[in-house]
Amino acid sequence: LTGVPREQRAFQYLLAHAIPGDPRHVLQTFDQWCHRCEHLSCVGPVKGRIVERLLYERAPLRVLELGTYCGYGTVLLAQALPPGARLYTVELDPCHAAVAEKVIRLAGFDEQTVELIVGPSEEVIPQLRERHGLAQADFVFMDHRKRRYLRDLRLLESHRLLAAGATVLADNVLFPGAPHFLQYAKTCGKYRCRVHRASLEY
């Protein structure tokens, strides 16, 4: 009715209630909005704990996120990175990217820590090394369109963007599901696979 997209309404709520420069409080405020006001397809706190645990275990220095959306996952990733690490996040939709940029900066992360790249992943991935300086990623978080998971994993492989021992974490592979990606990861012989079971967001 207002003509304001729900992602922008969520950001206005963040501006009114979140503590600037406090990424954990920004995430908590996002969660409050999604629980009480409107659902957004963010990672959420339950799956967020899985993401955080894996980041703390692996301490990656170069992280790639595919699917920024509103920046929730980006803030979640960035606040769990070790000192000196850099996060590259890719978003197709320029309107979502505009909101995410403001969320990321509100949480206190500058462009040296988090670089937001706007464009389709199939075009961005081949340019990551030359245009953005990402030689190889130690950790990849996939949370974009599920039918693109397998295509983009193969693109990362073909452009040698996965470091030895890299972790690829993909959200929602069971529901709504990415069956071809899951089958490839389990049977191609390149990966050790583990499914983390969790509830849907909020």
Catalytic residues: 143, 146, 171-172, 201
**CA 155 – CA 123 distance, rounded (Å):** 10
| C-alpha dist (Å) from residue 41 to 9, 67, 170 | 14, 11, 14
3-state helix, strand, coil in the chain (%, to 5): 50, 15, 35
Closest alpha carbon to 78 in 33, 35, 48: 48
Buried b / exposed e along 185-198 (16+ C-beta atoms within 10 A): beeeeeeeeeeeeb
